[in-house]
Amino acid sequence: MTEQAARGRALQEQQPAFSLVLPAYNEEAVLGPVLSTLVQAFPNSEIILVSDGSTDGTPNVAAIYSPQVRTIHYRPNRGKGHAIRQGMLAATGDIVAFTDADLPFGADGIRHVLAVLAKHPTCDIAIAAKTHIRRGLAYRAARVIARLGIRLLTGLAHPDTQAGLKAFRRRAARSIYTRTCIDGFASDIEVLFIAKRSGLRVESVLLPLTTAFDRPSRFGLGQGIRLLLDVGRIRRGRY
């Protein structure tokens, strides 16, 4: 084997199977078990933990799992959308995914969305859609209102735009995330709106929520109203 071929093979071996971005804000309490689960389930992956202005030990917990886990840390807190954008643009895998730091669909959920991209070469993005939701009335009411508003304002008909698990082919991720500007919860909608305007194919994957690292949802009526205000901004944008 020539020296050039050897270098090429070494670079190929270093290329991660896929990249996984975890936005995190003060997630010290759940992060250790989550990262342990991920590095064992996906030993050839690149995991990027984006500490979005955390004031607890979130970056220190992530450092334990280096070098497989890379950490991006900044202050102040900017919002989930900003954190995901930083991670997605820093990722090097041919497939790039993000999931919430409490791993709402578990490792199996990640496998399912990756399998959709592997099975369907013409699919650009695979997104989770929550099933078997067991949460309070306020959450469910906010979800229904937000879903109706999103559909009316954007035309997006996906069963769930906000589920915390989405996977992209790298070219699609870069095309989208170099154009996003929403930093809050509505960032998922902006991403799907840009994808629709760009003619990208999106597949939804129905997945049950796992309770392994479950925590109370931060999404309520107030967040739903703010989300719809941001959706109005997205609708008025030019993409």
SS (H, E, C) 100-121: CCCCCCHHHHHHHHHHHHHHCC
Strand partners, 22: 49
Q: What is the pLDDT of residue 70?
A: 97
Q: What is the pLDDT of residues 192-212, one digit of tens each?
A: 999 999 999 999 999 999 876
Q: What is the pLDDT of residues 102-156, one digit of tens each?
A: 999 999 999 999 999 999 999 999 999 998 666 666 666 666 766 777 777 788 9
One CATH from 3.50.50.60, 2.60.40.60, 3.90.550.10, 3.40.50.850 for 3-236: 3.90.550.10
Q: What is the pLDDT of residue 37?
A: 97
Count helices and strands in the chain by DSSP H and E runs = 9, 7
Residue 13: CB partners within 8 Å, gap ≥ 6? Answer: none
- Across 118-146, b (16+ Cβ under 10 Å) vs e yields eeeeebbbbbbebeeeeeeeebeebbeeb
Output the average pLDDT for the chain.
Answer: 86
Q: What is the pLDDT of residue 74?
A: 97
More confident residue, 159 or 142: 159
Residue 10 has pLDDT above 50, yes or no: no
Percentage of the chain surpassing pLDDT 70?
Answer: 81
Residue 179 has pLDDT above 50, yes or no: yes
Least confident of 5-14, 28-37, 89-98, 227-236: 5-14
Q: What is the pLDDT of residue 5?
A: 43
* Rg of the chain on CA atoms, in Å: 18
Strand partners, 49: 22, 71
Residue 110: CB partners within 8 Å, gap ≥ 6? Answer: 20, 41, 42, 97, 99, 165, 167
d(CA 47, CA 230): 29
Task: Compute CA distances 6 → 12, 16, 62, whole Å.
Answer: 10, 18, 32
| 19-24/95-99 β-pairing | parallel
Percentage of the chain surpassing pLDDT 90?
Answer: 67
Strand partners, 131: 208
pTM of the model: 0.84
Domain spans in the chain, listed from the N-terminal domain onward? 3-236
d(CA 121, CA 47): 24
Q: What is the pLDDT of residue 6?
A: 46
Q: Yes or no: say if 146 and 222 are a contact pair by the CB < 8 Å rule.
A: no
